[in-house]
Structure 1
Amino acid sequence: MMAACLRRCNRPMLMMQRFAKPSAVPALNRGDGIRSYAAAAAQLKPSPVYTEAPPRPQLPRSLPLSAAQVEHYFKEGYLICPSFVDVAELDDCLKAVEGLVDYVANRLYDTGRIKDKCESAPVSTRLWLLEKQFKGASVLIHKAGVLPKEFQRVWSGQKLLDAVTQFIGGDIAGHPVWNLRSKTPHTEQATVPWHQDNAYLDPECENTLQVTAWIPLVDANQTNGCIQVLRGGHRSGVTAKHTCCAGDTWYVQCDMNDMEHTLGVNESDVVTCEMPRGGVLFMNNAIPHRSTENLSEAIRWSLDLRWQDPAKPHGFHNLKDPVTMRLANQPGYQMDWTTFAGIDRTKLQLEQASEEAQDYFETTIAGPWMERWEITHPNRHTNALNAGGLTGWHSKA
């Protein structure tokens, strides 16, 4: 699930490295035709990156996750913690979201693109009302590049970092791909198809465990759209074949038949991850997952944050480096947000684009992941790529 946006470019883009096509993965032998997760997964060689936990860390306080929870994360590829983040911190995040939405509304209004800023509407509906006046208003939120301090506090919170230590060890960096998700109701670009996060990254990072925390800022359920995972689909570490792009979006997608033949999972392995506000869904970068449609009448806001070992490849196409948060050999390490949080990813990308294209209101997104996978459904996003135009970044869910 990843984010940010680029623009129209009249010269070759430095980031657009040509990917080698993924190597073929032999189909699983179905034998007697009985499909079960255990039987199918047994034919895949487990990847220790995604299936073996590091030694239990020694911290001067209780660890937030039990041994059984850590085992579940590595065995199934995900872990739901219903009550994990302080809801007061999520309240602060929603206030920051209100500020972001207000900024978008003012920009749209001041340039004559909308007639009503919907100032009296709550954060649960305001962006949706703006979207009805300017299609793509939610994309403007999605591609925002400066990290609010309220998000920083959640991302670098002690309890979350202690949990991540249990997954990857004592050296921890925040991955440059983080997202604020505005799942507006009945919106195609907010409904994300089946995919693996590795499909959006450079293949160099496929031997790097990247821990994702998906954090809903409101209750997440089947009505307003939540995450579904295919349990066990991470075990081999293989990235299944993806195609580009789904509908009128910039998303890659993976067919269930392909995932069954290459990852050993199918519909019987789907887990629907409903969670109350304050809950966290931990995932890895190889687990297949999707984000379902919002059928309610309110926006489902969420954050997805990522961590990894700072010494390992991060796969973000040299656009931005991770931010170191902890070092095992420096117990008193003080992280510095200055460079990381001050870098506007969109601004960086725009500097590679022509002056003519530097349009804040552009809602077309394209980027390096489209070079990796076959384009089976051309649309305005892929057309921009083929024209040597827009580039950008997105990660799922």
Structure 2
Amino acid sequence: MRLTVEQIITYQTEGYLIVPDVLSADDLQPVIDEIGREIDDRARKLKAEGKLQALYEDEPFEKRYASLYRDCREIGRGLDIMTYLGEAMFRHLGSDKLLDVVECLLGSELSCNPIQHLRAKLPKKYAGDEPDYFQNVPWHQDCAVTSPDSEASEIITFWMPLVDATAETGCMEVMPRVFKQGYLDHRAEGGTMIDPDKLPEAEPVLAECTKGSLVIMNKYTPHRGIGNRSDIVRWSIDLRYHKTGANSGREFQPSFPVRSASDPASVLTDAEEWRRLWQSVKDEKGRKLHRV
């Protein structure tokens, strides 16, 4: 899939774009299956340690994790792309269907940015006493979690849900056109958030997005996550890409080429090498990941 001229203009004007049906259910199923296996492995280990009584094996992907988390929050400790390092997820980072869209905005020399996350937004009824910002992610810009020396880099967020992201399941809200103001001061309280005194007066837009679709955002676009009022987990993948050779905003973490017209051999295709790159920087104590 290629973006139309109209879609590119919309992104460049509004600072965000929702692109429907980029990936099919079949495209996403290997990633979903892999996440399911990781959760199952964790659950069985916790049960063997006496920390879980039930495995909830009959529950579907959209619900099982919530039941396990309710019984033992340890199930979610360190559950992220760069910690479980799955083969299917690695292949997904370099998906041709995804990169065809990325190329329309960044050109043909593309690197996967190291800021990448797997997120499970629980139904509110299962969240218990977890901090409110887990449900209601405060207004922020993605550039706030990059180093200031990457200001010149065009780092674009590609956010995709693994279930339908709606007002009920907890989609995002975005502020159109505000990206033109550049970086806004942030605070490190209740999660990294735009200083309320600097929050622009803009009418938010609900960024509902179906499974397999994308929400693309400029790094200066303010956005927030709303609470999950449904009975399913709102799973999503948050990826970022930048032009190869540009500052990634996380120079101590691995970015790597995923597409190159000038040097195809430079593209990383070995999942074991990807794992090695991440494992070599596992100790991040003392490193500042956010600007504030």
* TM-score, reference length from structure 1: 0.66
1:95 is the counterpart of 2:20: no
Structure 1 partner of 2:123: 185
Structure with the largest fraction of strand: 2
Decide whether the 8 Å contact of 2:118 with 2:236 is kept in 1: yes
Q: What is the count of residue pairs matched by the alignment?
A: 285
Structure 2 partner of 1:241: 185
* Deviation (angstroms), 1:311: 0.6
Distance 1:317 1:324, change over 3 A: closer
| Equivalent residue for 2:2, pick from 64, 67, 85 | 64
CA RMSD of aligned residues (A): 2.4
Decide whether the 8 Å contact of 2:140 with 2:222 is kept in 1: yes
Counterpart Cα distance in 2 of 1:138 and 1:290: 22
The 5-angstrom pairing of residues 331-350 of structure 1 reads 334-338=267-271, 341-343=274-276, 345=278, 348-350=281-283
Structure 2 partner of 1:368: 288
Structure 2 partner of 1:206: 151
Secondary structure at 2:220 match in 1:
coil
What letter is aligned with 2:80? Answer: H
Counterpart Cα distance in 2 of 1:140 and 1:349: 12
Structure 1 partner of 2:61: 123
Counterpart Cα distance in 2 of 1:99 and 1:65: 34
Structure 2 partner of 1:254: 194
Cα distance per residue 1:121-159 (max 9 Å; x no partner) = 221111111111223533432375143232233321222
Counterpart Cα distance in 2 of 1:155 and 1:321: 13
| Equivalent residue for 2:256, pick from 312, 323, 330 | 323
Q: Give me the identity figure in percent.
A: 26
1:82 is the counterpart of 2:20: yes
Distance 1:140 1:68, change over 3 A: same
Distance 1:291 1:337, change over 3 A: farther
Counterpart Cα distance in 1 of 2:52 and 2:73: 10
Cα distance per residue 1:313-362 (max 9 Å; x no partner) = 111151x2211112232357653334553147478434x67xxxxxxxxx
Decide whether the 8 Å contact of 2:169 with 2:230 is kept in 1: yes
Decide whether the 8 Å contact of 1:104 with 1:141 is kept in 2: no
1:142 is the counterpart of 2:86: no
* Deviation (angstroms), 1:95: 0.8
Cα distance per residue 1:199-241 (max 9 Å; x no partner) = 11111112111122111111110000001111112113x2211
Question: Which structure: larger Rg?
Answer: 1
Cα distance per residue 1:170-189 (max 9 Å; x no partner) = 11001112111111111332
* TM-score, reference length from structure 2: 0.88
Counterpart Cα distance in 2 of 1:334 and 1:347: 20
Distance 1:290 1:367, change over 3 A: farther
* Deviation (angstroms), 1:259: 2.5
Distance 1:111 1:144, change over 3 A: farther
The 5-angstrom pairing of residues 378-393 of structure 1 reads none
The 5-angstrom pairing of residues 255-270 of structure 1 reads 255-260=195-200, 266-268=201-203, 270=204
1:274 is the counterpart of 2:208: yes
The 5-angstrom pairing of residues 285-296 of structure 1 reads 285-296=219-230
- Alignment gaps of 5+ in structure 1: 1-62, 261-265, 354-365, 374-397
The 5-angstrom pairing of residues 33-44 of structure 1 reads none
